[in-house]
Structures are given as C-alpha cells and as structure tokens.
Chains A and B, each alone.
Chain A
Amino acid sequence: MRAGCARSRVPEEPARGAALGQGRKGGLKNHMEVVPRLRQRQNSTAAVGERDQEASFGKRPILLWLLRTRGYYELATPGGGAGHAPRGGSHTQSATSRPAPRGTPPPPSLHPRDPPSPTGACAAVRPRPFTLQPWSPAAKMAAPSVFWGAAVSYRLFLGGRVSLALRQGVWKAAAAELQRAIAYLFPSGLFEKQARPIMKHPEQIFPKQRAIQWGEDGRPFHFLFYTGKQSYYSLMHEAYGKLLDVEKRQNQLQAKGLFSEKTKTKDLIGSRWLIKEELEEMLVEKLSDQDYAQFIRLLERLLTVECSAEEEEFVQRFRRSVTVQSRKQLIEPLQYDGQGMAFSTSEGKRKSAKAEAIVYEHGSGRIKVNGIDYLLYFPVTQDREQLMFPFHFLDRLGKHDVTCTVSGGGRSSQAGAIRLAMAKALCSFVTEEEVEWMRQAGLLTADPRVRERKKPGQEGARRKFTWKKR
C-alpha cells in the first residue's frame, strides 16, 4: 500500500486496523479512528512503524504527546485507503515497543487503550487532510479517523464490554459513518498547517539596545560619550566634515579656475527625509525636535552644493522612498446617441442621495435635474455653485449639456451627488492629466461623511446632556 508500511493483511478482511489513509504532507488531522486492538503488533512492523511515526511526528510535539498518552489506540482506516496518495511512512503503535505512557496507568484489557492487536494489520497514524466526504461507506477517500474522544464516546455509547471479535465486525460498518458524521459536524483546523502560529523575527520583538558604552576600566569607548547623545553628534560631525571637504574641493577648483557653476538638480521627488522616529531608531538614541531639524538642515545644505558620489550616497542613506500616488481613475467609455452626439453617463453618491448624470459633449450649458431646470430645482445659490465647480475647474462652463436624475437626501447632498456624477462623467472628455488634477482637487472622491450615530447616554452624537451639579 504505502512505502514503508509493512502490513500483513488478510485480503478478505479489510484491515481491522488498516492503515490510515495518507494525509497531505504535514498536518495530522485529528480524525483518527481508534480501534482497539487485541494483540500486540509484531515487533518488526511495530518498530518500523513506530520509528516512522515518531519521525513523522518529530516536529509535532503535541501530536507526539497525544500518541504517547493515548498510544494504545490503533489508528486505523477501514477501506484500505487505496485512494490516498502515499505520503511518508505509516506507523504502528504498539504498547510493548513504546515506552509506557507517562502518568497513565496501564489500561484494563478491553479499555480502548488495549494492547495492540496481534494482527499484522498496520495501523498507521497518518496525517490526514480534512475533507468533507460524501456519506458513503464505500467511498475510498472517505476514511477519516475518529478522534480519540469520539472513540471513547462511541465506546460509552456501545456500552459495556463487547467482545472484540464482535466489535471488529460491528464497528467497521458503524464506525465509518460515525467518523464521517463527527468529522463533518466538528471541523477543526487545529492541525492545519496554515493555522500554525507565525512568529516574528526576534529583532522586531526585542528593541535594539545599546551595549555597554565603556570598558572595564570605566573609560568610554566613544570620544563623544560625555555629550550624552554620542551617535547623533558623531553623525553631525561626520556630515559637517563632508561638507567642509566639499567646500575645500570647490575652493581648490576655483583657485585653479576649473570651477563650473552648474548645479545638477537632484531628483528629490519620490523620496522623503527620514522622520524623527526613524532617525531615533537608527541611532538608538532619543533626539529632540531641534536636533532633528538641525540635522535635516545640514543634509539639505549638503545637497545644495555639488558633491561627489560618496557624499550622495551618505545623504541617500537618510532618505526613504515614497510611493507615487497614482490611482487609476475608472474612465467611463463614451457612448453615442442617435444623432451622433457623444455623451457619457456616470453615478454619484453623497450621504443618502444618489444621482446619475448624462453629460453631452456639445451643448450650451443647460442642466436639467429630474426634468426641471436647475435654477428652479436648486433655488439656493450654494447648490448651484456646487454644480458649477467641475465645469469651472476644467474651464468648460458653457460647453456641455447635462441631464441628471437624483433621488434621496436633502438639497445639499443632492447637489453634492450630482457634482460627483458630473465630474466622473466629464473624465471621458478630458485628458489624463486633467483627470489627475480633478482627483487631486477632490472632485472624483465620494464624500465618506455620513450622519454619526446617536449614542445612549448622550443627547446626540457628540452633545452630552446638560451637566447638573446636583
């Protein structure tokens, strides 16, 4: 059946303690069928099996413990598990080959922790993937193991001592269904590989600490130790030293007459200076705001003068890159109506108002809202200013005709919703750059503000009840 599984199987008798189906590499499933065995396994198979088992469970201490404590269970699969992919070795348990379970007294003979059966059937604890199997005993794949607790309950359920011979026969039929039932009803990810705890790198957990700053004789190592902020001052010293070098070089060039006035503009876009916290972390030292500001000023001064590659590299150490904020705005496709006029449709929302706007490419600046002229629909100037905003921003005040429908909300939120819809629709008539400008102006962002919930114990969302002294 599987590599490494030594089985002496009686073909007509499906393994009483037949090997478990092979699970995926790794996780042991907690569905292990436990079938008590009558006799001891043969040592060889047991030894092999046990070694394999131990090996396979070497990395899973909890399972090893389980096996050791409940070790006398024969973990078996009915049906032979032929459909399983062989993975690793199987094992057998044998009471004799295993050291006695720690702390547990040897169980009575017909306790589930009976000494293992003498049949050569190989019982293997096999890590098994948990799958929901169809309820058919004939399914080869469906041979989940029942957790040891289930076996106990099963035993209780059966009640009393049942002769093993009887058990073997009876169990096989009923056990399979029971296992399946329990596996289905109590799915567990306890042994799932992906559910293992992931631990952080120790560097992330333990903060950087400073080693002892002075030697045995009490004399500090660093020459700036007595300033209190040795790393900071040494960094400043270094940076200023570089600045002086650069200036000296420039003076020499000037003296020789080879000084060229050109200053190459460094591309500072896309990167930012280190923030104070980052610098503190780098130096493992507390800084004040003034210190930080001074340092940044020094670096910027270093950048203004022409410096060589190593100075550049020194400065670049203190810059971090900033991701470019380019959000791709979805641009509506243009549609063409009967007369060949291009138009584009889009929607907008604000609070609880929803609006849909159709912007025509050529027009004279007429806007109809729900069939009514916008002057009559929005008598308040403020709302009309909101409608004006997208067009005024793009300088297309009298060039488009708009038809929109709006529902919900109040007058101000309807105006906002229409504004958003119009701006989105205008994207399709406008260049990419202008779309980016609109996005930065906030025309294409839906306003996320909604009414805040009223809390109990307060009069409103924020307002508290009048405080009475007594």
Chain B
Amino acid sequence: MDPGRLLHTGSQAPQSLAAHLDNPAPDDSPRAVSRTSEKDPVKTFSEACLMVRKPALELLHYLKNTNFAHPAVRYVLYGEKGTGKTLSLCHVIHFCAKQDWLILHVPDAHLWVKSCRGLLPSTYNKQRLDQPAEASIWLKNFKTTNERFLSQIKVQEKYVWNKRESTEKGSPLGEVVEQGITRVKNATDAVGVVLRELKGQSSLGGFRLLVAVDGVNALWGKTTLKREDKSLVAPEELALVHNLRKMVKNDWHGGTIVLTLSQTGSLFKPRKAYLPQELLGKEGFDALDPFIPILVSNYSPKEFESCIQYYLENSWLQHEKAHTEEGKKELLFLSNANPGQLERLCAHL
C-alpha cells in the first residue's frame, strides 16, 4: 500500500501507524521485528514500528485460514489495561491492508457515546439521534483508507438525501461518502448507507471486508449524552451505534470482524474489569456470542528485552543506568512487563 497512508487510532492510543513494516514476520520467529510505536512516532522516531507479538500472530494465522463462505467470525481481543490490544488490532489491520482488504475501522467506539455536541434527530428515523461531527470525521478517514474501493463499489439502491440531492443506483460509493462529507447533516445517514452497502456486497465476493472496532464495549454500555430535556440517551438511540451493531452481527460472510475491549474509555465500569463478561455486560455478551476470545497479556522476558533494545537504539532512554542489567531489572519490576507502564516509565528517562 502507499506508504503515506495513515490509520488514525483514536484518543487512547494516539499513534499513527504508517504502513511501513519492513518485513511481515513469518509465524515461526515471532520476535524478529521488535519495534513499538510511540505517541506520534512519526515525529519522534521518524518511523512507526510495531512489535510483533503472539496474539497478533495468532489472529493472523486464523485470518489466513478463514473460509469466506462461512459467516464472518468474530474475534475479541481482551486483556488488562495497557497490554497492547489496540496495537495488536493495528497490526491486523495493517496486515489486511497489505492483503488488499477493505477496512472498516472504528478507532474508538467510546468517542461516539460520550461528549458529543450537536445531537440532531435523525432524518431517516425519527426516534434515533444523529451525530454529524463524528460521522463526518469517520467518513473522512474511511475515504483516506479505502480510496481504491470507493470507485469500485457500486451502490445498489437509490438514496434520496433531500429534495435536491439523491444518489442513483449504480453510482460509486465514493459519491455517498462525498455527500456525507459535504452535507454534514446527512453524514450519519451516509455512514449507515455505506455500512449497509458493504455488508450486502461483501457476500458477493468482490472484496474482503474487515470490520475492526476498538472499544466495542461502548456499543452496549451506557452513554453520557443527554437530550435537550436532560434525559439520558441509550446507545441504541444513536444511529451510528445502531448501524454499527448491525455491522458487527455475523449474518454476512466474506470477511471478518475483529474487536477490542477497552476499559480505559469505558463509562461506569470498574478499573479492574477486563474480562468480556464484565465489560460487555449481559446484553453485549449475548449480542456478540459466539466469538473467539484472544487474551493479550504482558510482555514475556524476550519481548521486554527487545522493547528495551529498541528504546536504547533510538536513544530514547537517556539515563546512564538504563544500559545496565540492574537498570533493566528495575524497569522490569516497576512496570511488571506491562507495555503501557513501561512506555510511561521510559518517557521519563
């Protein structure tokens, strides 16, 4: 893919991942490429790298062996805070991007359920609410990620936006996306249209669809949004959430769904919760059932070593003791091989 393409990954992991991996590592040497990306790594390290770890490799293995005639399989990445779920997701996305799949990536579903300004009653369905700002952002991203497909995929129905504008049947999907970007009021509906089209057409086999959602537990939790009359909004009343839920259901085939749970942005969930049961709640669990859970855990000793090596190579660790064995042991103890903690510790050194 073009090296300039960026995948935005949301507020919790604000790293930009450039499609720039040197070699996708083969399965039997999982630590060959040992890089981690930082906050805005493109600026700090003038490159963005990703550590290849077991969970991601496992996922890739499954992906390679999927049978696309079956309904889409759901994979859920779960684990403690800071263990690397989001980055594993990024790795998978990158892989699929290289394999030329169509990527539907929601960087952080939590953004859609909290602190939104400008909720409008939906034009399509009176009971639901629109989120024009978020929808338009997402559409822009979608456009940049999947340029190639926008002209390829043809819309299969006619969509009337308002009195003057409509999209004819057979026009490329790019038009819908343009419509959503330019007419912000219709952005949410545009998103809905895109999702519906993609779902329908992926079964035909023209392309493979990857649905990647980070923080999927937001779809079934609570929101902090309120209407004008100060009444709480339930997630299903948001059009974006509603459409995304439909997307995540495995009633289509020709692709996969990879999801990540995240406690960091979640609302009203205890800090120590990390299991799917706890974070998704009963409703979400039932909706996602069946799925394949993949646990992402802390670094193994080798991974830890390679992480430290990377930092040292890039002169990220300036402390004189960081090179020594004792220093590494200290870091190991303090972070307990948790990638997130390690990153924060090393940021100070």
Q: Given that A381-B345, A395-B326 are known contacts, is A373 also in contact with B336, CB under 8 Å in the complex?
A: yes
The residues of B that contact A397 with a CB separation of less than 8 Å are: 326, 329-330, 332-333
The residues of A that contact B329 with a CB separation of less than 8 Å are: 397-398
**Shortest beta-carbon distance from A386 to chain B in Å:** 11
A292 sits at the interface (CB 8 A): no
A319 sits at the interface (CB 8 A): no
**Shortest beta-carbon distance from B153 to chain A in Å:** 45
CB atoms of A391 and B80 under 8 A apart: no
14 contacts between A and B (CB under 8 A): A365-B332, A374-B336, A375-B335, A379-B271, A381-B344, A381-B345, A384-B334, A388-B330, A388-B333, A397-B326, A397-B329, A397-B332, A397-B333, A398-B329
B188 sits at the interface (CB 8 A): no
A324 sits at the interface (CB 8 A): no
Tell me the bound Cα distance from A381 to B333 in angstroms.
Answer: 11
Tell me the bound Cα distance from A398 to B272 in angstroms.
Answer: 25
Q: Given that A381-B345, A395-B326 are known contacts, is A376 also in contact with B333, CB under 8 Å in the complex?
A: no
The residues of B that contact A384 with a CB separation of less than 8 Å are: 333-334, 336
Within 8 A of A (CB), among B227-280: 271-272
A385 sits at the interface (CB 8 A): yes
Q: Mark A358-379, 1 if CB is under 8 A from B, else 0.
A: 0000000100000011111001
Most buried by A among B271, B326, B333, B335: B333
Closest to B274 in A: A376
Beyond A397-B333, A398-B329, 15 additional pairs, beta carbon < 8 A: A372-B272, A374-B336, A376-B272, A381-B334, A381-B341, A381-B344, A385-B334, A388-B330, A388-B333, A388-B334, A391-B333, A392-B326, A392-B333, A395-B326, A397-B330
The residues of A that contact B272 with a CB separation of less than 8 Å are: 372, 376
Out of A373, A395, A398, which one reaches B333, CB within 8 Å? A398
Give B residues with C-beta under 8 Å from A: 80, 271-272, 326, 329-330, 332-336, 338, 341, 344-345
Chain A: residues with Cβ within 8 Å of the partner, total of 16
The residues of B that contact A385 with a CB separation of less than 8 Å are: 334
Tell me the bound Cα distance from A384 to B332 in angstroms.
Answer: 11
Closest to B80 in A: A376
The residues of A that contact B330 with a CB separation of less than 8 Å are: 388, 392, 397
Tell me the bound Cα distance from A425 to B338 in angstroms.
Answer: 27
Tell me the bound Cα distance from A154 to B80 in angstroms.
Answer: 87
Closest to A375 in B: B336
CB atoms of A375 and B341 under 8 A apart: yes
**Shortest beta-carbon distance from B344 to chain A in Å:** 8
The residues of B that contact A373 with a CB separation of less than 8 Å are: 336
Tell me the bound Cα distance from A391 to B330 in angstroms.
Answer: 10
**Shortest beta-carbon distance from B18 to chain A in Å:** 31
Closest to A399 in B: B329
Give A residues with C-beta under 8 Å from B: 365, 372-376, 379, 381, 384-385, 388, 391-392, 395, 397-398
The residues of A that contact B336 with a CB separation of less than 8 Å are: 373-375, 384
The residues of B that contact A398 with a CB separation of less than 8 Å are: 329, 332-333
The residues of B that contact A392 with a CB separation of less than 8 Å are: 326, 330, 333
The residues of B that contact A381 with a CB separation of less than 8 Å are: 334, 341, 344-345
Out of A372, A375, A388, A391, which one reaches B338, CB within 8 Å? A375
**Shortest beta-carbon distance from A364 to chain B in Å:** 9
**Shortest beta-carbon distance from A398 to chain B in Å:** 6
Tell me the bound Cα distance from A365 to B344 in angstroms.
Answer: 21
Tell me the bound Cα distance from A384 to B271 in angstroms.
Answer: 18
**Shortest beta-carbon distance from A210 to chain B in Å:** 62
Closest to A384 in B: B334
Tell me the bound Cα distance from A292 to B80 in angstroms.
Answer: 66
Tell me the bound Cα distance from A391 to B344 in angstroms.
Answer: 22
Closest to B272 in A: A376
Tell me the bound Cα distance from A49 to B330 in angstroms.
Answer: 88
**Shortest beta-carbon distance from B16 to chain A in Å:** 27
**Shortest beta-carbon distance from B241 to chain A in Å:** 30
The residues of B that contact A372 with a CB separation of less than 8 Å are: 272
**Shortest beta-carbon distance from A349 to chain B in Å:** 24
Tell me the bound Cα distance from A375 to B333 in angstroms.
Answer: 9
Most buried by B among A365, A373, A375: A375
Tell me the bound Cα distance from A386 to B332 in angstroms.
Answer: 15
Q: Given that A376-B80, A376-B272, A395-B326 are known contacts, is A365 also in contact with B345, CB under 8 Å in the complex?
A: no
Tell me the bound Cα distance from A375 to B79 in angstroms.
Answer: 14
The residues of A that contact B345 with a CB separation of less than 8 Å are: 381
The residues of A that contact B344 with a CB separation of less than 8 Å are: 381
**Among all A-B residue pairs, the 6 with the closest Cβ atoms:** A375-B336, A397-B329, A388-B333, A384-B334, A397-B333, A375-B338
The residues of A that contact B335 with a CB separation of less than 8 Å are: 375
Closest to A395 in B: B326
Closest to B337 in A: A375
The residues of B that contact A376 with a CB separation of less than 8 Å are: 80, 272
Tell me the bound Cα distance from A397 to B324 in angstroms.
Answer: 14
Most buried by A among B330, B335, B336, B345: B336
The residues of A that contact B326 with a CB separation of less than 8 Å are: 392, 395, 397
Closest to B329 in A: A397
Tell me the bound Cα distance from A391 to B326 in angstroms.
Answer: 11
Tell me the bound Cα distance from A163 to B281 in angstroms.
Answer: 103
The residues of A that contact B341 with a CB separation of less than 8 Å are: 375, 381
**Shortest beta-carbon distance from B331 to chain A in Å:** 10
Tell me the bound Cα distance from A228 to B271 in angstroms.
Answer: 77
Tell me the bound Cα distance from A365 to B341 in angstroms.
Answer: 17
**Shortest beta-carbon distance from A396 to chain B in Å:** 10
The residues of A that contact B333 with a CB separation of less than 8 Å are: 365, 384, 388, 391-392, 397-398
**Shortest beta-carbon distance from A174 to chain B in Å:** 80
**Shortest beta-carbon distance from A382 to chain B in Å:** 10
Closest to B82 in A: A375
Tell me the bound Cα distance from A13 to B47 in angstroms.
Answer: 120
Tell me the bound Cα distance from A202 to B157 in angstroms.
Answer: 117
Closest to B81 in A: A376
Tell me the bound Cα distance from A441 to B91 in angstroms.
Answer: 47
Closest to B341 in A: A375
**Shortest beta-carbon distance from A392 to chain B in Å:** 6
Tell me the bound Cα distance from A391 to B329 in angstroms.
Answer: 11
Tell me the bound Cα distance from A189 to B273 in angstroms.
Answer: 70
**Shortest beta-carbon distance from B337 to chain A in Å:** 9
Tell me the bound Cα distance from A372 to B273 in angstroms.
Answer: 12
**Shortest beta-carbon distance from A176 to chain B in Å:** 77
Tell me the bound Cα distance from A365 to B331 in angstroms.
Answer: 12
**Shortest beta-carbon distance from A380 to chain B in Å:** 11
Tell me the bound Cα distance from A365 to B333 in angstroms.
Answer: 7
Closest to A379 in B: B271
